[in-house]
Amino acid sequence: MSSRGTFSNKFGFIMAAAGSAVGLGNIWGFPFKAANGGGAAFLFIYILCCFILCFPVMITEISIGRNTTKNAIGAFPKLGFPKWRFVGFIGVFCGVMILSFYNVVASWAFGYFLNLSIGNFEIGNHFADFTKDIYTIIIYAFIFMFITGFIISKGVTKGIEQASKIMMPTLFAILIGLVLYSLTLPNAVIGVSYYLIPDFSEVSISTIYIALGQAFFSLSLGMGMQLTYGSYVNKADNIVSSAMWITLTDLSVAFLAGFMMFPIIAYMNNGDMSNVTGGPGLIFVTLPGVFETLGTVTGSIVGSLFFLLLCFAALTSTISLLEVPVAWCVDELKMNRSIATWGTALIIFILGIPCVLANGYSDFWTNFITYGGKETPTDYLSFVNDFASELLLPLGGTIMTFFAAYIWKTKNMNEEICLGYPNYKGSFVELFLNFTVKYFCPVILFIIFIFTILNKFFGITIF
Ligand code: PHE
């Protein structure tokens, strides 16, 4: 087992898994979904989704991993169910797809970090040209993948754990610094109220569905990532409390990101919050302009720190995405870790090249597909995101919980949890997990999967 590597302690595991969870999704996904979905009302639904639905899935994945000390694919034969290996294959495939586009978006953040460190605020006015300059982006994407590969090639303790232990606290420190700074800007209160004042009229069935999808992606569930990291966890560790810490850390970063973004937007719009949009446009077009108004020195410090924060958030996620296929190559195909790392990193980097071309450079990749019920085509990068994150992750989660409940059986899962949590048997937590893993998660996740297919790809809205 030692040749596979292990996390040196519970803290190391929490930092690594929380690092995977905290990513681009927290910083540009969550705050805007919250603001558009009814502010505090959305937050409330989101917290419920995290704890009632996602938390049991996370525990399921971690227990399978720790019980088998295997990767996402090899875990199933190790438990005696070789046919279920397909779940792992879906996971590895999904991780590869997510990493292929995620690395490209991370490389934009990296490019912006470099530009803003030297005070080039103009970059914000040229975002379209920036993404179309494919040779530069390919170099940035290569560097980002190289750093990811470098950390993964160092192994679990010296690579993943060590890097996360440095990056996560730094990320927190930068985030808190930026939040405090944002809150001192004029009109900060307007921004915060826009973010948080509950508006129940905005809440509908689709809000719940958006909150769930966001929580699932944000907690890196459904593709065997928590399973793989779980396989490096000590038997004596309490998985339930680790999963609680991971969920809470991810939630707090998402929540705090809103306190950083909305005061900045309110400041920029002089308190007019009537047409706020999120996503890449805001991050890469609007924000650099705001940083410029802070003055050259303050602007480049605040601006480069912001993009450094994004890079760190992305990097702790990209390493976890790369670890899933690498662990499989090392365990099952008996490859040397370095070869496995550089081989997979290279393949995924190449798979990401169409994502680089999908932002206006190539017509084919930019207008890749037109979903049913839509008039305008979707580009390849967004398509991969929709397909892998919105479709395959809930599917993975459905099958994984179904497997744990009815094939492997909750009794065995409970025994695994008990190893690091002696009072677990007979506790409320056990009752709760038994119920959610058996009945709640597989059913709800499957419903979401069906809704996504109908709604996203065929334009059929049921609610
Ligand atoms: N959780 C990451 C984010 O919020 C993305 C991710 C998804 C990472 C799945 C690993 C696995 O950005």
Q: How far apart are the CA of 18 and the centre of ligand 1, in A?
A: 10
Distance of CA 154 to the CA centre of its chain: 22
CB atoms < 10 A from the CB of 126, how many? 16
Section 213-220 average pLDDT: 94
Tens-place pLDDT, residues 233-279: 999 999 999 999 999 999 999 999 999 999 998 998 888 888 777 77
* Nearest residue to 295 via CA among 118, 119, 113: 119
Section 186-210 average pLDDT: 89
Tens-place pLDDT, residues 322-370: 999 999 999 999 999 999 999 999 999 999 999 999 999 999 999 999 9
Q: Provide the pLDDT confidence category of residue 463 given band limits of 50, 70 and 90.
A: low
Atom of ligand 1 minimally distant from the CA of 24: 12
Atom of ligand 1 minimally distant from the CA of 314: 12
Q: Which of 214, 217, 309, 318 to mutate to test the pocket of ligand 1 (most atoms within 8 A of CB)?
A: 217
Q: Is the pLDDT of residue 2 over 50?
A: no
Residue 37's contacts (CB-CB under 8 Å, 6 or more residues apart) are 45, 202, 203, 207, 210, 211
Q: What are the helix and strand counts (H, E) for the chain? A: 25, 0
Q: Is the pLDDT of residue 293 over 90?
A: no
Q: Which two tokens stand for residue 246?
A: 């991971």
- Residue 247 near residue 84 (C-beta atoms within 8 A): no
Q: How far apart are the CA of 262 and the centre of ligand 1, in A?
A: 23
Rounded Cα distance, 324 and 262, in Å: 35
Tens-place pLDDT, residues 386-427: 999 999 999 999 999 999 999 999 999 999 999 999 999 999
Tens-place pLDDT, residues 296-320: 999 999 999 999 999 999 999 999 9
Q: How far apart are the CA of 185 and the centre of ligand 1, in A?
A: 31
Among the residues of 197-269, which ranges form H helices?
205-218, 225-230, 239-268
Q: Is the pLDDT of residue 448 over 80?
A: yes
What is the DSSP code (8-state) at residue 397? H
Q: What is the CA radius of gyration of the chain?
A: 21
Q: How far apart are the CA of 313 and the centre of ligand 1, in A?
A: 10
Q: Which two tokens stand for residue 307?
A: 């993009």
Lining ligand 1 with CB less than 6 A are: 20-21, 23-26, 98, 217-218, 220, 223, 225, 317, 320-321
Query: pTM score > 0.85 for this model?
Result: yes
Q: How far apart are the CA of 413 and the centre of ligand 1, in A?
A: 25
Which residue puts its alpha carbon closest to atom 3 of ligand 1? 23
Q: Which two tokens stand for residue 304?
A: 């480069």
Tens-place pLDDT, residues 20-54: 999 999 998 898 888 888 889 999 999 999 999 99
pLDDT of residue 159: 97
* Nearest residue to 246 via CA among 434, 55, 379: 55
276 by Cβ neighbours in 10 Å (0-12 / 13-18 / 19+) ranks as buried
Would you say the C-alpha torsion 355, 356, 357, 360 has a positive or negative sign? positive
Q: Which of 28, 99, 220 to mutate to test the pocket of ligand 1 (most atoms within 8 A of CB)?
A: 220
Atom of ligand 1 minimally distant from the CA of 313: 12
Letter for the amino acid at 239? I
pLDDT of residue 452: 86
Rounded Cα distance, 11 and 381, in Å: 35
Rounded Cα distance, 381 and 402, in Å: 31
Q: Provide the pLDDT confidence category of residue 1 given band limits of 50, 70 and 90.
A: very low
Q: Provide the pLDDT confidence category of residue 210 given band limits of 50, 70 and 90.
A: confident
Look over the chain and give the mean of its residue pLDDT values, rounded to a whole number: 94
